[in-house]
Structure 1
């Protein structure tokens, strides 16, 4: 069990890489050899960092008598539950503001038939020069509390009061209505699914085999439902601009096309098959092609802020370092190859390499892997809530490795990730209590 998350990440990365080679989306001038070598080195660094944790003894606090009761009351109920309750209030306030803002702007945004148009509308607003609405600003600043609700509330659900359980479900309902319908975005659905699966997996550590099998069955059902919903939303988006698998190459940059003879289209048909193929190839594995292009470009330093689009934008608007994004690999890919780094996935590595070089983008995963290993150890040994929070965020970041630097790209994720790291650094050792019966 102590290496299971690492094994899952290894299988996932290798699997998505193979999809980029043999999936329905085909790429022109794809340097597969360079990408295979680079991803092999990435996994090597990640594994070294994670496994190095086994050589280090984690500092723990002294055992407590009647440990189960004391730990529950002293730490879970008094601190963690209080944090969860506060986070539910803040998260509900934030999402309510967004809901009201959506209704005021356009009540028709809550129509399921407008998912594609809604997605285009919110992208135009975020890219506009008129600034953000109050609701979006509050959303950006409350990302930490939103993740606390999505991760820790399900884990400690039985310890929550009835009123807070009800507020939690109301929050999820508003979250789905605003993000899934009004904004037409799928990322939040993926985040919720990933967090829920992680929490279920941790819960399984204390369950019988019968209950574990039940959770695994429910997880499989959820994943199938997610694929169907995600594929439907993708089709809705492309319907708005008249794109199909057949004419995709005409609307793209000309470097990729869909093989309509692929087995995906034979099994699921042209329309649903296009949605599933988009999820598999464009979202889960399309970034590896972008990586192959970025590896061909020379290094230009971006002063430590090029790894995050929002950080580079803020520095530009404050006139601290102007046109910083233009120096990144993502922007220079557009100039050299016609591939827009902001509209396509290119893996996390060109983002990190803009500051660290491609070699540094590999080596940074040794300490990241070590922290990942520490959080998992503290979960296995102590069910540490601070480590559950950071572990879930890091796992989400690894899921998005084939896509982009997800944890630091937007304002809300940037602030949330930094806050979670700080929270973990100052709190995780406080929860490392060894019960006497272990």
Structure 2
């Protein structure tokens, strides 16, 4: 069993354990969700095995890359910096710039998320929604080949990361953007370390654990701050539904346990939605059930009433069980099942697991940059399986995933001999 597969199994079964034995009380048939996920894990591990053991018959790409890896990294980093800077400047002109400080980032993110301005068309954000895949390439490759890029590119790379944090803090308040940034930056570092050391040195393991724990604590704090703000500003008495006799509250102080519980609600509530949706009959969602963004666009483009198209499992589940279709998470399965049935959803998600595994194998064997980008993009897909259909929620994530898959399809057999071979990939 390779490292990604081990982590995948620990992640899914870990969140499933916290769903069943965690501090949150969910009114649903938990056994139904557990049984479904166990069945999915059988198919997922089977498809992963096939992906890592399939023989690469043709080690050459369908299309030849005309530019070197160095040129691709340089151009993608330059583009990432200028498009992100444009987003910050244009948003500041529209909404004002309230100042940025790392000491107030949690409270500002809570405010930004809770008081998002009405949508205003902005050229830079519109462009980014179709070209974010270039920024993904820049973030992944800049980190993967950090010691092979020049100082100017390193400065622009770090500046881009800072601009993403500033833009998200002041204008979005989304945890997703920061989670994606951590993945795009830190996962390539882990890949480099795993290639350099068969057994990573203690300090690298400890740093990985610290980054993971710090990210979890930070996200839990942001969620906690957001709920506290809602209580203060909207007189909301919303409760986490936590069981204070649970083992988490017995081993941790209440303040820390509350933050962790808020975080766990995001990691486990998807299984509740899954359990509730599993009780409903199938009704085809016209091929749009997997993405409410596509559904909304089709409704707007063709002047079709949204009520006619909104027949996905989560929407029908909300009408019966009064659990928000969009406000809550329901794992990825009910969305895909809206078009392919729940058994079909298992197969569809397992196919993504197959490509995740195959791109990992090809990256190790060929060292091609697009295989690395493909693997890391699909890692986000895998990470959010218990939560939602993350890669299909927004235009930028849909376009990025499709663009990266097309690039991988064309160029994934490319073997690089310059910058790639120097880091022994």
Q: TM-score, normalised on structure 2? A: 0.88
Change (3 A) 1:135 1:109: farther
Q: 1:367 aligns with which of 344, 351, 365?
A: 351
SS in structure 2 of the partner of residue 144 of structure 1:
helix
Residues of 2 paired with 1:212 and 1:383: CA distance? Answer: 23
1:18-417 aligned at under 5 Å gives the runs 18-28=17-27, 30-61=28-59, 78-104=67-93, 105-108=95-98, 110=100, 112=104, 113-122=107-116, 125=118, 128=119, 131-208=120-197, 212-242=201-231, 251=238, 257-280=241-264, 282-319=265-302, 322-323=305-306, 325-417=309-401
**1:11-31 deviations in whole A, cap 9, x for unaligned?**
110110110111111112x21
| C-alpha distance after superposition, 1:312-358 (max 9, x if no partner) | 11100012754254111121111111111111110000110111111
- Cα distance between partner residues in 1 of 2:286 and 2:182: 35
Report SS of the residue matched to 2:287: coil
Q: How has the CA–CA distance of structure 1 residues 114 and 376 changed in structure 2, closer, same or farther, with 3 Å as cutoff?
A: closer
- Alignment partner of 1:3 is 2:15: no
Q: Answer whether contact 1:231 1:272 (CA < 8 A) is retained.
A: no
**Partner secondary structure for residue 381 of structure 1:** helix
CA contact 1:52–1:370 (8 Å) conserved in 2: yes
8 Å contact kept, 1:60–1:432: no
Q: Number of matched residues?
A: 411
Q: Distance in 2 between matches of 1:80 and 1:26?
A: 51
Tell me if structure 1 keeps the 8 A contact 2:286–2:309.
Answer: no
Q: Tell me the secondary structure at the aligned position of residue 241 of structure 2.
A: strand
Q: Matches of 1:285 and 1:13 in 2, distance apart?
A: 10
Are residues 16 and 102 of structure 1, via their aligned partners in 2, closer, same or farther at CA, if it must alter by over 3 Å?
same
* Runs of 5+ consecutive residues of structure 2 not aligned to the other structure: none
Alignment partners' CA distance in 2, 1:102 and 1:53: 43
Q: C-alpha separation between the residues in 2 aligned to 1:401 and 1:227?
A: 17
Tell me the CA shift for residue 52 of structure 1.
1.7
Are residues 1:425 and 2:412 paired?
Answer: no
Structure 1 residue 221: Cα displacement: 1.6
Cα deviation, 1:131-162, whole Å, max 9, x if unaligned, reads 53323212312210121122111001122121
Distance in 1, Cα, partners of 2:384 & 2:79:
27
What is the CA-CA distance between 1:95 and the residue it aligns to?
A: 1.4
Indicate the SS of the match to 2:41. Answer: helix
Secondary structure class of the residue paired with 2:310: helix
CA distance in 2, matches of 1:412, 1:299: 29
CA contact (8 A) 1:24 1:262 kept: yes
How far the C-alpha of 1:206 sits from its partner, in A, is 2.9
Q: Deviations over 1:286-333 (max 9, x none)?
A: 100000011111111122222011111110001275425411112111
Distance 1:79-1:322 versus aligned 2 partners, 3 A rule: farther
Question: Quick check: 2:194–2:200 contact (8 Å CA) kept in 1?
Answer: no
